[in-house]
Amino acid sequence: MIFRLDELLDGKKPVLASKSPRRHELLRLIFDDFDVDPALGEEVIPECEDIKDVPRLLAVQKCREVSARHPDRLVIGCDTVVEVNGEILGKPADAADAARMLRMLSGSVHSVISGVCLRLGDRENSFRQETLVTFRQLSEADIAAYIATGEPMDKAGAYGIQEKGCLLAESISGDFFNVVGLPVGRLAKEIERFLGGENFDIR
C-alpha cells in the first residue's frame, strides 16, 4: 500500500542521498520521516550508449556511496538532467552558460530525465523517468531577466519549473514532479515493489 510505505521499513528511516530542498519536500509526500545524507564524492559522468541513461547511472553512483554508510537502511539516490538535441545540460557554470542553455531550449521541446536508485544492503534497483517540456520562444530580454532572478544557477538546464521558470514553458507532457526533480508517483510504486522483493525494469 503506497500510503503506508513506512510500515515496510521495520522502524528504520530511509535515507535520501541528496541535498536538494526540492527533493526533500517531494519525498515527504511518500515518507513522514527520513534522514538526509548527500553523496560527497565527485560526480563523474559515465560513458554509455544511451545518453538518456546518464542520470540513472549518476543516481547509482550517489546511492552506492551513501549506502556504504547506511548498509541496513533504504537509501534513495536521484539525479536529474535536461537533454536537448543529444546534449546533456546540467547546472550552469555561470550566467553566460545559463544564457547559452536557455537559448538552446527556446522555442523547442526538450527532455527532463530523472534517474533514481534504491539500495538496501546488497540489493539494488534503478530506473529512469522522462518528461517532455516545450518552451516558448524566448527573447534576449526574457533570458536576461530570468537569469537576474538567480533561479537558473543551481538547476539542471538553467531553469526551475516550480518557480518563475514556469513562465518559460508552453506545455509539459508527462510527470510534472519529475521536472521538479523527483518522480514521486513512480518512486512510491517502485519502493513498494522493491521492499516487497520485486525487481523492475530500468526504463
Just list the catalytic residues: 79
Are 128 and 203 a contacting pair, CB within 8 Å?
Answer: yes
Q: What is the C-alpha separation between 108 and 135, in angstroms, rounded?
A: 6
Per-position b or e across 4-16, b if 16+ CB within 10 A of its CB: ebeeebeeeebbb
Which residue blocks in the chain are alpha helix, DSSP H? 21-27, 54-67, 95-105, 140-148, 176-180, 184-195
Q: Which residue, 78, 85, 81, 71, is CA-closest to 30?
A: 78
